[in-house]
Structures are given as structure tokens and as C-alpha cells.
Amino acid sequence: MHIETIAVHAGGEVDAATGALAPPIHLSTTFEHGPACELPHGFLYIREGNPTQARLETALAQLEGGAAALAFSSGMGAGVVLLQSLEPGSHVIFPNDIYVDFRTVARDFFPKWRIEHTVVDMTQVPAVRDAVRPNTKLIWVETPSNPLMQVVDIAAVAQLARQASARTVVDNTFATPVLQRPLELGADVSLYSSTKYFGGHSDVQGGALVFRTKDSYLEAVEHTRKMLGAVASPFNSWLILRGLRSLVCRVEKHSANAMAVARALADSPALAAVHYPGLQSHSGHAVAKMQMRSFGGMLSIQVKGGRERALAVASRVKLFVNATSLGGVESLLEHRASSEGPSSTTPPDLLRLSVGLEHPDDLIADLMRAIG
């Protein structure tokens, strides 16, 4: 079945009680059970599971082609629970252009959890191979990366992980399962900030993990989520489930608009670089073309003249809004080094763009005016 059809119907069975096509929201925090805690309805307490979250998880697994999915209160919650479920003494390999808050987690919390990590340029597969240790348990891929839009060969890294008896997780937030299918490329887990394209309207927070197989690691992650409370609320689950229905057509439009913007900016004499994997000039274009259906709605630009010049461009946009996050219907622009703070490794002349659903000509005109 095609993904367009799956997105519309996954987790969307007609409500048995009323015949309603829109899924119900079950806000109850507790559920009737038997005298000895028998579960005639399948649920006990909201932190352990609730019907709306379960419906979303069914939809996510079907959309990704996975064996199971877990919903979380945020993308960070999903990723951190995945890491906390590793045994002490485990070693993790991170890409050098990883989402900044996961870099902070490694710095501030890994020593407390007795987890080791190595940071490598994951666009170079031999660098990943050289970083593998006997205690390597997880290789963390982010592609395209945030904010440099680096591209990693998922299949090649997943093969290395299997040879090392390690797992591969792919942060697939930028691409979504519409454009990139990590589990089909050999990864074990796909990670998402559902806040972004899944929700799609800048009005809900959530996270998700989709697993290729049901195994002991899935059980460990689910146990950690339950005990530490990083579960999705029923209402947020419902909003994300609603967002999935239009995900395919939105992502396709985001991608088409971003391609148009990237091509228009590629030859600007005011820019030092345009980072978008859909451009043939991008160092990861060949790999992206091989493993992606299209190239997504995210790009970044580097402005000649450094930080002050980049901030000047950001101050002159009219349609693009200076705001963090991404994947909503509106176009956003952000000076990432400022957003990430003192520990940022992002070039100070870089602006990250989340290209929305406006007409691309209007977006291009706005940027051209701002760039000058």
C-alpha cells in the first residue's frame, strides 16, 4: 500500500461506539480494572498507556513500516529515554553535527549515567568504523543534519553497526518517513520530534520512536518511559494523529518550495554557501538522492560578512518569521548560533530556514530583499 493511503487511514478506524470518523480523545487518567487489577479494557493508568496514545502508536508503526512505535512528550524525551535505556558502560557514537541539545545531554548527563561517547564526522563511513569499540551499543545518525544539512549513508552505517553487534538509531525528523525510510535501509530505530512535520502546525509538542523489531531493547525503552514519565498526553497524541493525515502532501510541498528557494539562492554573490542536499553542488547529494524520495523543507545559508551581516539579513525578512522549531505551515528563519548559546558549534554566519507552504516566489522575493 502506498504511503499516501497509509497516512490517511493508519490508526483511523471508525469509532465502534459512535461511528465517528474522527478519532475520539480519551482524557481519563485512570481506567476501571478488576478486584485484582485485571484489565478488562486493556488500560490501567494514563502514564502506562492510554487509548489515544495507543492509536497514535499504531499509526506511526504502520506509516514507518515498523514492528512497534512509542509516543513521547517531546523529541528530546524520546531520544533521552532511548539513551537512558542503555546499560552503564555502554559506548555511543554521535555525529559531529547533531542537534545541540543531545550534545548537551552527552556533556551534562553521560558521566552520571556512566555512558561513554565519541563524536565523528559521520559523512565519512571509515571514521565511524574507526570509532567502534567493544562496548559500542548504539550508533546515532542524524540525516539531513541540523543545521548543516550533512547527509549520512544510513545503509552503510547500519551495516557497520550490525557487524559490531550495535544498534543504529536515525533521527529522521527533517526527512520524515515520507522522504526517507531508515528501517528499510537497515536501521533499528527511527527517532522523531513529532512537534515538527508530524504535527505540522506549530501547535503541539511530541516525540516518537519507531522500532524495526520487537525485542528486549524495545521493552527496556518502554519500561524507562513508563517509570520516568515521558509519555504523550492524550490531546497531544490526538493532534499529532490528525497531522499525520495530511503529512504526505504537506511534506511534498515543503520540499518543492525548499528546492525552489535553494536554487534561487545558490548563485547569490552575497552568500558564502547554500546547504541543501537537493543541490548537485552539495557534498552529500549523491547519497541523498539514493536514500531520499525528495530533499525536504529545511536548508541553511551562510552569509558573507559574518555574524553581523547574517543578523542584518534576519532583521530584514518580512514573510519569514524569526523563530525556532520547524515543519509548520509558516516559513521560519533562525540564527542558530544565537539560539544554541555559548557552546554552539554552528558557524556564526549561518541562518537556518524552515521553508513553509507559502508561494515559493513570495518567499524567494522576501529573502532576496533581505540579503540585498
CATH code of the domain in which 269 resides: 3.90.1150.10
At 289 the three-state DSSP class reads: helix
| Pick from 154, 198, 150, 202: nearest CA to 173 | 198
In the prediction, which pLDDT does 354 show? 98
pLDDT tens per residue, range 158-201? 999 999 999 999 999 999 999 999 999 999 999 999 999 999 99
Query: 166, exposed or middle or buried, with CB in 10 Å at 0-12, 13-18, 19+?
Result: buried
- Integer-rounded Cα radius of gyration of the chain: 21
Contact of 149 with 169, CB cutoff 8 Å: no
Among 217, 245, 273, the domain-final residue is: 245
Q: In whole angstroms, give the CA distance from residue 281 to residue 298.
A: 16
In the prediction, which pLDDT does 306 show? 97
In the prediction, which pLDDT does 293 show? 98
Q: Give catalytic status of residue 99 as yes or no.
A: yes
In the prediction, which pLDDT does 199 show? 98
Among 213, 245, 277, the domain-final residue is: 245
Give the phi and the psi of residue 311 in degrees, each rounded to 5.
-65, -35
In the prediction, which pLDDT does 23 show? 92
Contact of 128 with 139, CB cutoff 8 Å: yes
In this structure, are 194 and 287 located in the same domain?
A: no
Q: Give catalytic status of residue 226 as yes or no.
A: no
Q: Which of 97, 171, 188, 349 is catalytic?
A: 171
Q: In whole angstroms, give the CA distance from residue 237 to residue 286.
A: 36
| Pick from 162, 278, 277: nearest CA to 212 | 162
Contact of 74 with 205, CB cutoff 8 Å: yes
Count of other CB atoms within 10 angstroms of residue 5:
10
For the chain, what percent of residues have pLDDT higher than 90?
96
In this structure, are 240 and 129 located in the same domain?
A: yes
| Pick from 212, 196, 192: nearest CA to 204 | 196
Q: Which domain holds residue 15?
A: 3-245
Residue 225 has pLDDT above 90, yes or no: yes
In the prediction, which pLDDT does 290 show? 98
In this structure, are 157 and 290 located in the same domain?
A: no
At 169 the three-state DSSP class reads: strand
Among 230, 245, 260, the domain-final residue is: 245
Going by pLDDT thresholds of 50, 70 and 90, the confidence category of residue 2 is very high
In this structure, are 226 and 367 located in the same domain?
A: no
Going by pLDDT thresholds of 50, 70 and 90, the confidence category of residue 110 is very high
Residue 343 has pLDDT above 90, yes or no: no
In this structure, are 46 and 154 located in the same domain?
A: yes
Mean pLDDT of 207-228: 97
Query: To 5 degrees, how large is the angle CA 196–CA 232–CA 146?
Result: 30
In this structure, are 40 and 26 located in the same domain?
A: yes
- 90 is written with which cell numbers? 555502554
In this structure, are 54 and 151 located in the same domain?
A: yes
In this structure, are 187 and 265 located in the same domain?
A: no
Q: Phi-psi bin for 295: left (phi > 0), alpha (psi -120 to 50), beta? A: alpha
Going by pLDDT thresholds of 50, 70 and 90, the confidence category of residue 244 is very high
In the prediction, which pLDDT does 52 show? 96
| Pick from 13, 12, 7, 53: nearest CA to 29 | 53
Q: Which of 55, 99, 242, 245 is catalytic?
A: 99
pLDDT tens per residue, range 22-75? 999 999 999 999 999 888 999 989 999 999 999 999 999 999 999 999 999 999
In this structure, are 125 and 112 located in the same domain?
A: yes
CATH code of the domain in which 186 resides: 3.40.640.10
Q: Give catalytic status of residue 276 as yes or no.
A: no
In the prediction, which pLDDT does 17 show? 87
Going by pLDDT thresholds of 50, 70 and 90, the confidence category of residue 226 is very high
pTM listed for this prediction: 0.96
Q: Give catalytic status of residue 192 as yes or no.
A: no
Contact of 253 with 357, CB cutoff 8 Å: yes
pLDDT tens per residue, range 274-312? 999 999 999 999 999 999 999 999 999 999 999 999 999
Count up the domains in the chain and report the number: 2
In this structure, are 94 and 22 located in the same domain?
A: yes
Residue with cell 520512536: 209
Query: 349, exposed or middle or buried, with CB in 10 Å at 0-12, 13-18, 19+?
Result: buried
Residue 207 has pLDDT above 90, yes or no: yes
In this structure, are 70 and 97 located in the same domain?
A: yes
Count of other CB atoms within 10 angstroms of residue 88:
8
In the prediction, which pLDDT does 39 show? 87
E strand intervals along the chain: 68-72, 91-95, 116-120, 136-142, 167-171, 189-193, 207-211, 271-275, 298-303, 321-322, 332-335, 350-354
Q: Which of 55, 103, 137, 196 is catalytic?
A: 196
Contact of 43 with 50, CB cutoff 8 Å: yes
In this structure, are 230 and 358 located in the same domain?
A: no
